[in-house]
Structure 1
């Protein structure tokens, strides 16, 4: 039975969620259609530009992403504190950059005389918009609808571009967050689209390493530079000694890149038996051994659904979302202390 999105999101348990959307039919986000020879690589650029635009509007940060041939992965962080601090005027400005402004709101912003009842209606509308700015369903809706319209226009067709609703997983602890991010960043390597993390364009790992999501010289359309919005960077790693910001992923970026690179070399089919001689530092921080990490990272996409975390956190999440049990409960942390 299809579950409501509300039953899959509990900010009391975690602000981190893994989202996936797939295309229908033989629709493409990138790659080449073997029947027509038409290349769709430019659509990955549409995705990255729109993701960054929406991140600058919503109180939502992007932790990790990977744009594949017929689907994409996003790891999102909902920033409730930022959303709470937004003024009513800022909420209107942000929402107005996506949708047309009602006349009543426009009058209120211009400080034109309105009655107490109208003022109350204005505040109700703004509060609803504020809630939406911290809602992953609205974030994904604004992303998927935009891409679907552009793709259908280019394909000269109508109808669905995406395969129903997006899927989401709650990431309940640091182990789940890091495992999911590594799984997402390694998708092009696992799919044999690229041979290394540093060459996997249109992934968060590539953007963190190179500062951009794609090679500038390969673009045929507008890049992120010069667009009409201020680009919000990916959610940063704050484990480095020089990092002073409060909000971020509590590990070192260099340790994370090392871990992803090591995992990618181990998970490649032609390198499966070539265990690296060194043990990534971040595994010691997480308290995981190599075999457990590789088991989690290699089966993350197929074994774990709904929510990922320790058994204690899964029980709390199930209680907060009205579930009796979680599908991944028996599989998750089978070998973990």
Structure 2
């Protein structure tokens, strides 16, 4: 039985979420159709362009992404603090980049004089827009709808392009976040689309490596800031070099002739998160198979379920086994 989206996203528990959208039936998002020999590779650029366009407007950062042949993986960070700091004018301007808004919001932004009751209506409307601009469902809706329209227009057909709903997983702690990001970044390698992270097109890991070569971090993605502390800049709670090393070693250890093998030199990130090498291999290969709902250690999962008034803690056995 599916769970209402409002019960899956709880910003009080975590701002990080893993989302997956899959094409319906045999629809091709990207890749090549072996039957018709038609290539859909150009659609990867559609997804990436639209994703970054939306993240510039929304108070939602894209921590990791991978555009696959028939589905898209995203790890998202909902920046509630930034959204609440926006002025009413800022909220309306952002919303008007996506929609026309109302007649009153249009008049307000044009600087036309409005009566006090009308200003109150504009203020209420802006608060509604503010909530939508930090709502994962709205971002996914606008991403999927845009791609579906373009694909159906190109294929000269009508009807569903995506499955009815995107799946969403709450990432409750650093362990779950690191494992899920690596899982997403290594998707093209596991699917044999790419041989190395730096050659896996339309993924966050390629953008990060390309920027790291120049001593930078990509502008479109939230930066790695290391161990977070009071007054430190906002960003991912890992070191960039640790994460890149972690992804590289994990990718190299996934080999048919050396299944489960981990090099003796392990990245600092694994040691700090207290995840065993064997468990990390399982997590980075089978994250979506192991977990169907919120992911985190037992304490984080328990607090999340209490906050959501759930009696049953899903994923408890695998969380205990792999993230303890």
Q: TM-score range by the shorter chain?
A: over 0.9
Structure-1 residue corresponding to 2:321: 334
1:286 to 262, 269, 273: 273
Change (3 A) 1:138 1:262: same
Change (3 A) 1:119 1:206: same
Whole-Å separation in 2 of the counterparts to 1:232 and 1:126:
27
Q: Once the 2 structures are TM-superposed, how far is the Cα of residue 273 of structure 1 from its aligned partner?
A: 5.5
Give runs of aligned pairs for residues 120-269 of structure 1, distance below 5 A.
120-211=120-211, 233-239=220-226, 246-269=233-256
Q: Per the alignment, in what secondary structure is the counterpart of residue 293 of structure 1?
A: helix
Whole-Å separation in 2 of the counterparts to 1:234 and 1:270:
35
1:321 to 308, 311, 314: 308
Whole-Å separation in 2 of the counterparts to 1:6 and 1:59:
18
> 5+ unaligned residues in a row in structure 2: which ranges?
213-217
Q: Deviations over 1:200-243 (max 9, x none)?
A: 1111101111149xxxxxxxxxxxxxxxxxx95201101299xx
Q: Once the 2 structures are TM-superposed, how far is the Cα of residue 6 of structure 1 from its aligned partner?
A: 0.6
Whole-Å separation in 2 of the counterparts to 1:174 and 1:96:
35
* Structure 1, 47-56 or 296-305: larger mean CA deviation: 296-305
Q: Once the 2 structures are TM-superposed, how far is the Cα of residue 113 of structure 1 from its aligned partner?
A: 2.7
Cα pair 1:57 1:94 within 8 Å, conserved:
yes
TM-score (norm 2): 0.93
Cα pair 2:63 2:222 within 8 Å, conserved:
yes
Change (3 A) 1:273 1:135: closer
* Structure 1, 38-47 or 116-125: larger mean CA deviation: 116-125
Q: Per the alignment, in what secondary structure is the counterpart of residue 141 of structure 2?
A: helix
Q: Once the 2 structures are TM-superposed, how far is the Cα of residue 124 of structure 1 from its aligned partner?
A: 1.2
Change (3 A) 1:264 1:142: same
Q: Once the 2 structures are TM-superposed, how far is the Cα of residue 148 of structure 1 from its aligned partner?
A: 0.5
Q: Per the alignment, in what secondary structure is the counterpart of residue 331 of structure 1?
A: helix
Q: Per the alignment, in what secondary structure is the counterpart of residue 112 of structure 2?
A: coil
Q: Once the 2 structures are TM-superposed, how far is the Cα of residue 245 of structure 1 from its aligned partner?
A: 5.3
Q: Per the alignment, in what secondary structure is the counterpart of residue 320 of structure 2?
A: coil
Structure-1 residue corresponding to 2:107: 107
> 5+ unaligned residues in a row in structure 1: which ranges?
213-230
Whole-Å separation in 2 of the counterparts to 1:245 and 1:150:
41
Q: Per the alignment, in what secondary structure is the counterpart of residue 75 of structure 1?
A: strand
Q: Deviations over 1:267-291 (max 9, x none)?
A: 2324426532311221111122211
* Structure 1, 320-329 or 160-169: larger mean CA deviation: 320-329
Whole-Å separation in 2 of the counterparts to 1:205 and 1:151:
26
Is 1:9–2:9 an aligned residue pair?
A: yes
TM-score (norm 1): 0.90
Whole-Å separation in 1 of the counterparts to 2:83 and 2:99:
18
Cα pair 1:56 1:232 within 8 Å, conserved:
no
Q: Per the alignment, in what secondary structure is the counterpart of residue 17 of structure 1?
A: strand
C-alpha RMSD of matched pairs (Å): 1.9
Q: Once the 2 structures are TM-superposed, how far is the Cα of residue 163 of structure 1 from its aligned partner?
A: 0.7
Cα pair 1:256 1:282 within 8 Å, conserved:
yes
Is 1:297–2:284 an aligned residue pair?
A: yes
Q: Once the 2 structures are TM-superposed, how far is the Cα of residue 103 of structure 1 from its aligned partner?
A: 1.4
Q: Deviations over 1:143-183 (max 9, x none)?
A: 00010001110010111100111000000000000000000
Is 1:311–2:287 an aligned residue pair?
A: no
